[in-house]
Structure 1
C-alpha cells in the first residue's frame, strides 16, 4: 500500500505551505489513508493513488448509498467471526432505541453490567392451629373435707367404663352420706376434677400467601445495552475482494463483528477498543425463597363443662364447672352432705394454640447467561459527517 506524508513548512508567521510529497528531509508526519478523520492535505488526488486502492467507480457507488468501503477482517482468527459486520448501538440500557435505524432491521438486544439483588420474600405466616378434643376428666373425686384439706376420706365419682360424657348416675351419693359411716362427717363437702385429655391431631398449616413478590423482588437491571442491527449493503460495491460496503455509522453506533461466547481477542481491524461481551436480558436465575413451615402449636388445650345433678337422670342441675386439659380444679359442695346423683360432660372444645413460622428466606442468585453470551469487536465510529 502506498504511503503518504504530511509536510509542514513553518516560518515565524505560521504554516506557509503544505503538500503531500515523497518523504521529507525533516519532521515527517506519516499520513494514514485508512484514518477515519484524514486531514484534507493528506488526501492524494493524483493519478498514482496506488494499484491496490479500490476502483473509483465502485467506491463512489458505495458512497452514494451512504456507505463506506471497509476491510474484510484479515486476522488469522477472523474466520471464526462474522464476515459481515453489524451496526451496533452501545449506551445506557435505559436509553436503548426502540428500533433500528437501518434497513436490515434488529438482530439482537444484549446487555452488560448486571445488578440483581437477592429476592425479597413475603414473611411466612401460619394458619390458625387446629386440634381435636374429646373425653372426660380422668378422675372425679368427692372429698369429705374442704378443698386442700389433707387426710380427708374421699369417694370416686367417675362415670362407667368407656364413659364419653353423657348423663350418668354411676357412683351416685345419697344425701346425708357420712365418711366414715357413723362418723357424723358429711361425705359431700368438695369435688375434684382431674384434667381433660390433651388435644389430639394438633397442627398449624402454612398460609398460602408466601410467594415472590411480583415486580420489585426479582429485580434485574443492566448498566449497558447493545442494539445490533443488520446494516450491510452490497459486497460488490467496493470493487476489491478484500473490502465490503457498509453504511457509515455515527456515534454511539459502531460497525462490529460478532461471535457467540466470551472472547478476549478481536480480529484486525475490528480491535479499536477490545472485545465487548454482552448477555441476554434474562439472567441465569436461581433466586427464590425457602419453603415456609410452621412449628408445633403451643398453648392449645381442651375445655369442657362438667355438670352435677341432684338426680341420676340429670334433670336438676345444681353445679357446673369449666375444666381443661391443663389443670385439676376443686370446688366446694354447698350445702355439705347434699345428694350428688348424676353428672355429664358437655361443650368439649379446642382452645387454639399458636405456631411459630419459619422459612421464607432468600436464597440463590442471578448471574449473566454466559452460555448465550455474544462478543462484539468494533471499528471506531464517526463523530461528525465529513
Structure 2
C-alpha cells in the first residue's frame, strides 16, 4: 500500500487508502522519525510561532516565555519549603478589628496571638475569723491592813482570802477572815484586792477569703493574627507559586510550627505568634498572725457570812488590771463567788492574698513574609 505524508507545523497527519488519517500532535518523537512518520525540519525552515521569535531561534512561539505568569490572576511567590505551610495571606492587628478571610483565600489556616499583656491578678482579700478563748478565774484574793488602794504601802499586812485551786466561781468559804481580826494592832481587813483573771486562747484564728475571687480576664492578648489559604494553587512558569494578591492589611507569608526555624529565601520578614497561654499566676495563701487584744471580765462578790447570802460588795473585775476596793475596817470576809460575764477572744492580723507569677505564651508558630 502506498502512503503519502503531509507535514504541518506542530502536527503530523498520516493518510491511507482505507482508513481515517492518524493525527499526531506536538513535536515528533525519535521513534516516529525513525519509522518515517515525521520529517525532521531544517534549522532554517522550521515553522514560526507567533510573537515569541522564529523557531530556529528558540522553539515554539506564543507569549514570549511568560505563559504561566499571564494565567496567574494574583501574584507569583516562592513556594513553601518542606515542613512549611502556605503561601498564605497573613493579617495581624487589634482584637476588635479582625477581618474575614478574602474571597479568593477563604480557608482559615491559622489563628493565633501576639503581644501578651501581664494584667495584675486581683486576689481575694484575706481575713481571719476570731480565735476561741476562755477566761480563767483568779484564786488570788487577799485583804490588806491598808485603808487605801492599791494597799501596797510600807508596813501593810496582807491576809490571804484565796479561793481553792481549780475554782469554778461557786460559793466558797475557803480562807474566811473573821470580823475584827487584828494585824499588828490594826484591823486586818481594811481593803480587798483581787488579781486579774487570765484569758487563755484555746484555738487559733482561722483564715478565710473575705470576698470571692474576681473572674480572671480571658483575653490578655493585644494582637490577633489569622492566616488565610487559597482553595488551590497553580504554578507560575518560573517554578514559583501563584497565590492570591494580598488585600490591604494582608501580607504573603509561609509559616512553620515552633519558634526555632530560620526564614526561607524570599520571605525575609519574621513574625512570631502563639496559639495558647499558660497562666502561671496565683495568689499567696491566706494566713493569720498571733491573736492579740483578748480580754475577759467577771462579776466578783464577797459576803460577810459563809453561805454567800449576806452581800458585802459586788464588782466587775477585768483581765486588764487587778481589782482593789476599800472595805469597812475589820469587816468579816466570810465567803465569795464569781461569774464570768464577758470573754473577748481578740483578733489576728491577716496576711497573704498577694499576686505572684505571670502569664507565659505557648504553642508558637513562625511566620516569614515577603518584604
Q: Same fold (TM over 0.5)?
A: yes
Residue 360, structure 1, aligned to residue 363, structure 2:
no
Residue 377 of structure 1 is matched in structure 2 by 368
How many angstroms does 1:137 deviate by? 1.0
Determine the structure 1 residue equivalent to 2:294: 300
Q: Would you say the 8 A contact 1:85–1:232 is kept in 2?
A: no
- Following superposition, the deviation at residue 115 of structure 1 comes to 2.3
Q: Who is 2:170 aligned against?
A: 166
d(CA) in 1 for partners of 2:158 and 2:79? 111
Distance 1:243 1:101 in 2: 21
Distance 1:209 1:162, change over 3 A: closer
**Partner residue, 1:253:** 250
Q: Shift of residue 190 of structure 1?
A: 0.8
- Where does residue 144 of structure 1 map in the other structure? 145
Q: Aligned in 2, Cα 1:287/1:239: closer, same or farther, shift over 3 Å?
A: closer
Q: How does 1:1-386 map to 2 (within 5 A)?
A: 47=61, 49-51=63-65, 53-54=67-68, 59=71, 63=73, 70-73=77-80, 78-82=81-85, 84-97=86-99, 99-102=100-103, 104-127=106-129, 129-146=130-147, 147=149, 148=151, 149-179=153-183, 183=185, 185-201=186-202, 203-209=204-210, 212-215=213-216, 220-222=220-222, 224-233=223-232, 235=233, 237-238=234-235, 242-263=239-260, 265-269=262-266, 271=267, 273-280=268-275, 282-333=276-327, 335-369=328-362, 372-379=363-370
Deviations 1:144-193 (A, max 9, x none): 2223233222221112333221111222233333335xx3x322211111
Deviations 1:46-71 (A, max 9, x none): 54545574286xx3xx64xxx55544
SS class of match (2:293):
coil
Following TM superposition, the consecutive aligned residue runs of length 4 or more in structure 1 with deviations greater than 6 angstroms are: none
- Offset at residue 300 of structure 1 (A): 1.5
Distance, in Å, in 2 between the alignment partners of 1:55 and 1:115 is 44
Kindly state the Cα deviation for residue 91 of structure 1 after the two structures are TM-superposed: 2.4
How many angstroms apart in 2 are the aligned matches of 1:141 and 1:202? 33
Q: Secondary structure at the match of 1:133?
A: strand
Query: How far apart, in 1, do the equivalents of 2:330 and 2:341 lie?
Result: 29
| Contact 1:119/1:212 (<8 A) preserved | no
Rg bigger for which structure? 2
TM-score, structure 2 normalization:
0.72
Output the aligned Cα RMSD. 3.1
Question: Structure 2: which 5+ runs fail to align?
Answer: 1-50, 53-60
Do 1:106 and 1:228's aligned partners in 2 also have CA atoms closer than 8 Å? yes
Q: Which has the higher strand share?
A: 2
Counterpart of 2:44 in structure 1 is none
- SS of equivalent residue, structure 2 residue 199: coil
- Contact residue 133 and residue 344 of structure 2 kept, 8 A: no
CA contact (8 A) 2:135 2:343 kept: no
Q: Which runs of 5+ in 1 are unaligned?
A: 1-44, 381-386
Pairwise CA distance, 1:306 = 1.2
The separation in 2 between residues aligned to 1:215 and 1:161, in whole angstroms, is 59
Cα pair distance change 1:265/1:161, threshold 3 Å: closer
Cα deviations by residue, 1:298-355 (Å, 9 ceiling, x for unpaired): 221232221112332223333122223332221111x222222221110253224232
Contact 2:139 2:163 in 1 (8 A): no
Instruction: Tell me which residue corresponds to 2:28.
Output: none
- TM-aligned CA deviation for residue 265 of structure 1: 2.9
SS of match in other structure, 2:183? coil
User: 3-state DSSP class of the match of 1:283?
Assistant: strand
- Assess, with a 3 A threshold, how the Cα gap between structure 1 residues 49 and 71 changes in structure 2: closer, same or farther: farther
Once residues 291 and 265 of structure 1 are traced to their aligned partners in structure 2, the CA distance between those partners, rounded to angstroms, is 44
- Contact 1:199 1:302 (8 Å CA) reproduced: no
| Distance in 2 separating the partners of 1:262 and 1:358 | 41
2: CA distance between counterparts of 1:378 and 1:319? 97
